[in-house]
Amino acid sequence: MQIICDGLDLSEAAIKVSRAISGKTTNPILEGIKLVADNDCLIISATDGDLAIEKKIKAEVKVEGQTVVPGRFFVEFIKKLTKEKIELSLNEKNQLKIRYTDSVGSIQCYNPSEYPGFNKIDSNDFFAMSQADFKDLINKTIFSVAVDDSRPILKGCLLEISENGINSVALDGYRLAYCKKEIKHSTVKTNVIVPARSLGEISRILEDLTEIINIYIQKNAIMVDLKDTKIISKLLEGEFLNYKQIIPNHFETSVVINKAQFEDALDRASLLSKIGQNNLVKLDIKENSMEITSNSDIGNISEKVNVSFTGKDLKIAFNARYFMEASRNVQDEFIKLNFNLPTNPCVITPVESEGFKFLILPVRMIN
What's the fold here for domain 126-242?
Answer: DNA Polymerase III; Chain A, domain 2 (3.10.150)
Contact 209, 127 (CB under 8 A): no
- Can you tell me whether residue 130 is helix, strand or coil? strand
Structural contact between residues 67 and 2, judged by C-beta atoms closer than 8 angstroms: no
Determine the pLDDT at residue 277: 61
Per-residue pLDDT at 248: 94
Strand, helix or coil at 187?
coil
CB atoms closer than 10 angstroms to residue 242: 7
pTM of the model: 0.92
Euclidean distance between CA atoms 321 and 274, whole angstroms:
9
Q: Quick check: 346 and 295 in contact, CB under 8 A?
A: no
What pLDDT is recorded for position 141? Answer: 97
Q: β-pairing, 185-186 with 299-306?
A: unpaired
Q: Same CATH fold, 247-360 and 2-114? A: yes
Averaged confidence pLDDT in the chain: 93
Burial of 133 (0-12, 13-18, 19+ CB in 10 A): buried
Q: Which residues contact 333 (CB under 8 A, 6 or more apart)?
A: 258, 259, 260
Helix (H, G, I), strand (E, B) or coil at 345: coil
Q: How many angstroms separate the CA atoms of 358 and 348, rounded?
A: 5
Report residue 213's pLDDT band, with 50, 70 and 90 as the boundaries. Answer: very high
pLDDT band at 337 (very low <50, low <70, confident <90, very high): very high
123 against 141, higher pLDDT: 141
What does the pLDDT look like over 90-119, one tens digit per residue? 999 999 999 999 999 999 999 999 998 767
Provide the b/e sequence for 219-234 (b: ≥16 CB within 10 Å): eebbbbbbeebbbbbe
Instruction: List Cβ neighbours of 26 (8 Å cut-off, separation of 6 or more).
Output: none
* Confidence bin at 208 (pLDDT 50/70/90): very high
Contact (CB, 8 A) for 259 and 332: yes
- Rounded-to-integer distance, Cα 223 and Cα 247, Å: 31
CB–CB of 45/120 below 8 Å?
A: no
Give 17's pLDDT tier (boundaries 50, 70, 90).
Answer: very high
d(CA 53, CA 224): 10
Residue by residue, DSSP assigns 311-333 as: E--EEEEEEHHHHHHHHTT--SS
The structural domains of the chain, with segments of one domain joined by +, span 2-114, 126-242, 247-360
Q: CATH assignment of 2-114?
A: 3.10.150.10
**Residue 240: DSSP 8-state:** P
Q: Which CATH number fits domain 247-360: 3.40.1260.10, 3.20.20.70, 3.30.470.20, 3.10.150.10?
A: 3.10.150.10
pLDDT exceeds 60 at position 367: no
